[in-house]
Amino acid sequence: MAENQQQVTYTEDNIRSLDWKEHMRLRPGMYIGKLGDGSSKDDGIYVLLKEIIDNSIDEYVMGHGKRIDVIVEDHRVIVRDFGRGIPLGKVVDCVSKINTGGKYDSKAFKKSVGLNGVGTKAVNALSNYFKVESFRDGKTKLAEFEKGEITNNARVAKTDEGNGTKMTFRPDETIFKNFKFRPEYLEDLLWNYAYLNAGLSIYLNGQRYYSKRGLLDLLERKTKPENLRYPIVHLSGEDIEIGFTHHNEYGEEYYSFVNGQNTTQGGTHLTAFKEAIVKTVREFYKKDFTPQDVRASIVATISIRVQEPVFESQTKTKLGSTEMEPGGRSLRGFINDFVKEKLDNFLHRNPDAAEALLKRIQQSERERKDMAGIRKLANKRAKKANLHNKKLRDCRTHYTDEKKENNQESTIFITEGDSASGSLTKARNVDTQAVFSLRGKPLNCFGLTKKVVYENEEFNLLQHALNIEEGIESLRYNKVVIATDADVDGMHIRLLILTFFLQFFPDLVKQGHIYVLETPLFRVRNKKETIYCYSESEKQAAMNKLGKNPEITRFKGLGEISPDEFEQFIGEDIRLEPVIITPEVNVKELLQYYMGKNTPARQKFIIENLKVEKDEVKSELEPAEAEAALVE
């Protein structure tokens, strides 16, 4: 045995038995997926909320309660439904006893989201504070917990409250570090619930989310009427509802659901849906279109209900079921038969829509063939440029590595300049973090065709690094992070990169893969402590904390931050600002305003905001630095 190798004993003392809450707190990822800070829509705090709301939705599906109230205030969440209420004698067991719940009775919850009795217990275990209240036939039962430990088991009492269940929780800050709920993600979550449960009213802090027409309303919210090639196709049947249309943007955009759960990573049902659309279209037009041409620029949604669904993780983001019910109909065959019948009938009955669809497919076909030669030449150039040696410092784990536990953490930083990329490369986690280095400012690609992606070396190498040439299904990194200096040039580069993504790969942004790295503006320290500050207010707080005459350094660029320091900013405490495009935003108009030719409106905006910019610069810089910055 090597001298430096320690001998490890393995005896009865090494065997531990954890109770339910200890195991959940020790291995939270097994129950809620990744933790995160709320900057991603599938971060743990949103999973906690979904686990509670799912129970209320199941009550509505069973015909009990037409309203759900959700309150989110800072770090506290309250969910109140008006269903039947948990049976009073089982309130504590349902939130603290593993494998306990009403959904094991398939007659009561035949096609429910949660079937394993884990969800609510996970919320309880991973919360600093958790309270459950059940109201049932004039009586109420209340119980309170801290990190899964019961602190108050109240007796059954009388109440004037209507039937239902109310749950309050505050996620544990030691597990979900620096977290915050983002309104855009909350709104999107509740809208999805409303679309999938037509007639249900959900209120978030008093604002109502309600849908009459289900997935048709969803697609109308996600699209702009003036951008559509033909009216939305909306078809529904028993246990299935679909909708789709084609528009004028690049990429493919899908919203898939199983038993009311948003399967953000798709699964067997979405794969079958894509296949069925291509097959039906080919048969209707009697032409052997490529799947790529049929699906180019599509925006679509599918919702199915499956008995005892099999998901690939506890977070239920990807369906693995191959059958509609155990030992029953093939899921793929069920979806294919439905699409073939309903879509074929629709196209025969709506010749104008059929003609518009055909023209959209033919346009995609022409564009693909026109670019074939350019793509071939560009691929040769990319190979010659030796992407992996000159531009990309890759990581070991990628988003497409489904069997790797940390594939969700795969990240690529897009930065500019040798110093910044050098610091990032030395500081990164080589297992999950890659670095792509730009050479100078990218081209402003607004208004240009996709040919520029192949003709411009930087763009071509970037799309190869991300592996998105054929669409984002093969995206190699879950998080694409723009890491530029926090100065005027850095902001300009950031806008140019965002324009590239929004112009040619908008689904990357819409599906929540694009982020901006926040790095500290100041370092405040004395002999005992160092504090990194991301704003003027944080700097002032640090100065007050450290006392008299602390040393203050302002970072002017990423290259000034040493690798040792950088390691702290891209590790566990990384701060990422998600790039969110809400459905109300018209991307084309947005790009036209900021990245198009100078217009009187933009000139007026710059003039009116110049004073504000000057004031902000003066407040963050020393006087000499401020004067130099304003001159620039």
pLDDT digits (tens, 9 = 90+) for 217-259: 999 999 988 889 999 999 999 999 999 999 988 889 999 999 8
Total count of domains within the chain: 5
Tell me the C-alpha distance between 506 and 502, whole Å. Answer: 4
590 falls within a domain: yes
Is 413 contained in some domain?
yes
User: Does residue 11 form part of some domain?
Assistant: no
Lowest mean pLDDT: which of 93-97, 487-491, 527-531? 487-491
Kindly state whether residue 4 falls inside one of the protein's structural domains: no
CATH number of the domain encompassing residue 148: 3.30.565.10
Of the listed ranges 114-118, 289-293, 512-516, 537-541, the least confidently predicted one is: 114-118
Q: Is the pLDDT confidence value at 316 over 90?
A: no
Q: 266 and 360 in one domain?
A: yes
Q: Does any domain span residue 6?
A: no
Contact 163, 208 (CB under 8 A): no
State pLDDT tens for residues 328-342. Answer: 899 999 999 999 999
What is the phi/psi pair of residue 18, to 5°?
Answer: -100, 140
pLDDT higher than threshold 80 for residue 268: yes
pLDDT of residue 439: 85
| Contact in structure between 536 and 486 (CB atoms under 8 Å) | no
Q: What is the CATH number of the domain that holds 580?
A: 3.40.50.670
Query: Which of 243, 301, 296 is CA-nearest to residue 270?
Result: 301
Distance CA 165, CA 423 (A): 52
CA distances from 236 to 1, 199, 298, 340, 587 (A): 68, 16, 19, 13, 30
Say if residue 477 is in the same domain as residue 541.
Answer: no
Q: Are residues 198 and 244 in the same domain?
A: no
Q: Does 204 share its domain with 220?
A: no
**Which range is most confident: 53-62, 355-364, 525-534?**
355-364
What pLDDT, on the 0 to 100 scale, is given for residue 112?
59
Tell me, yes or no, whether 468 and 580 share the same domain.
Answer: yes
**466-523 per-position pLDDT tens digit:** 999 888 888 999 999 999 887 788 888 999 999 999 999 999 998 999 999 988 889 9
Other CB atoms within 10 Å distance of the CB of residue 419: 14
The answer on 465 and 356 residing in a single domain is: no
pLDDT band at 631 (very low <50, low <70, confident <90, very high): very low
Q: Which domain holds residue 123?
A: 20-209
Q: Compute the residue count for the chain.
A: 632
> For residue 354, which of 255, 229, 455, 204 has the smallest C-alpha distance?
229
Tell me what percent of the residues of the chain surpass a pLDDT of 90: 51
Tell me the DSSP string of 573-632: T-EEEE----TT--HHHHHHHHHSS--HHHHHHHHHHHHHHHHHHHHHS-HHHHHHHHH-
Q: Which of 338, 370, 402 finishes a domain? A: 370
266 and 327 share one domain: yes
Do 429 and 355 fall within a single domain?
no
Q: Which of 209, 233, 267 is the last residue of a domain?
A: 209
- 581 lies in the same domain as 505: yes
Q: Is a pLDDT exceeding 50 seen at residue 7?
A: yes
Instruction: Identify whether 1 is part of a domain.
Output: no
User: Of 165, 181, 209, which residue is a domain's last?
Assistant: 209
Mean pLDDT taken over the chain:
86
Let me know whether 463 and 584 are in one domain.
Answer: yes
Query: How distant, in Å, are the alpha carbons of 355, 372, 376, 535, 575 from that of 289?
Result: 15, 16, 21, 54, 45
pLDDT tens column, 141-151 = 999 999 999 99
Q: Partners of 129 in the beta sheet?
A: 170
One domain, residues 196 and 271: no
2 lies in a domain? no
Calculate mean pLDDT across residues 116-132.
Answer: 86
438 and 529, same domain (yes or no): no
Percent of the chain predicted with pLDDT > 70: 87
In a domain, 381, yes or no: yes
